[in-house]
Amino acid sequence: MAGYLKTQRRARRSASQRGTEESPLVKWFLILVALVFSVVFLLLPLVNVFAQAFSKGLETYWRGLTDPDSLSAMKLTLLVAAITVPLNVIFGLAAAWAIAKFNFRGKSLLITMIDLPFSVSPVVAGLMYVLLFGLQGHFGAWLSEHDLKITFAVPGIVLATVFVTFPFVARELIPVMQATGSEQEQAALTLGASGWQTFWRVTLPSVKWGLLYE
């Protein structure tokens, strides 16, 4: 009887595995589609960038790279990254910690706000900032009176970049924090650790790889 049941279980398992397996033709077709997509939309544009950059030789490329406008653009990019990355880390950690570890009113609204940049085009986001902080915007007259520049300046670039990139940090950390659970934090609090000690010594080390990856 036991042998018969084992045989039946093996048969059902084999049937289940066969039901989830695809034929070799389908597998190779899907692989081919993925490869074609990767080559056409990822590899070819990248190769074209390098080909165009070095089409006139290394000397021309170096002159273009050391051009004052190019250097200014690279400095601006590094400056915006130096401001945006710490802001994203702080906001992303705070949002992920609140969503993964606590239950509160408005939690669904906060999740919706985090996901909003995924559904809003960067062009629409830029237009939104122009309508708010441009010369004809809601705050344009006040900013002009106080000689403050937001649009077409570093603050505007930082705001737009944070708007677009903020969800990636939070969305990377939320599932990691949910997977680790809250037992370790509760144990630390029970042993007398403060909220900050629990965060720095328990919560942050448990999500450090997800944070570094992002």
C-alpha span between 183 and 139 (Å, rounded): 47
pLDDT at 75: 93
Q: Is 78 a residue whose pLDDT tops 90? A: yes
Q: Is 150 a residue whose pLDDT tops 90? A: no
Could you give the residue range(s) of every CATH 1.10.3720.10 domain in the chain?
Answer: 69-214
The sign of the torsion formed by the CA atoms of 138, 140, 145, 149 equals positive
Is residue 116 within 8 A of residue 166, CB to CB? The reply is no
Q: pLDDT confidence of 1, banded at 50, 70, 90?
A: low
C-alpha span between 112 and 110 (Å, rounded): 5
DSSP label at residue 69: H
**R_g (Cα) of the chain, nearest Å:** 26
Which range is least confidently modeled, 32-36, 137-141, 179-183?
A: 179-183
CATH of 69-214, one of 1.20.1530.20, 3.30.1950.10, 1.10.600.10, 1.10.3720.10: 1.10.3720.10
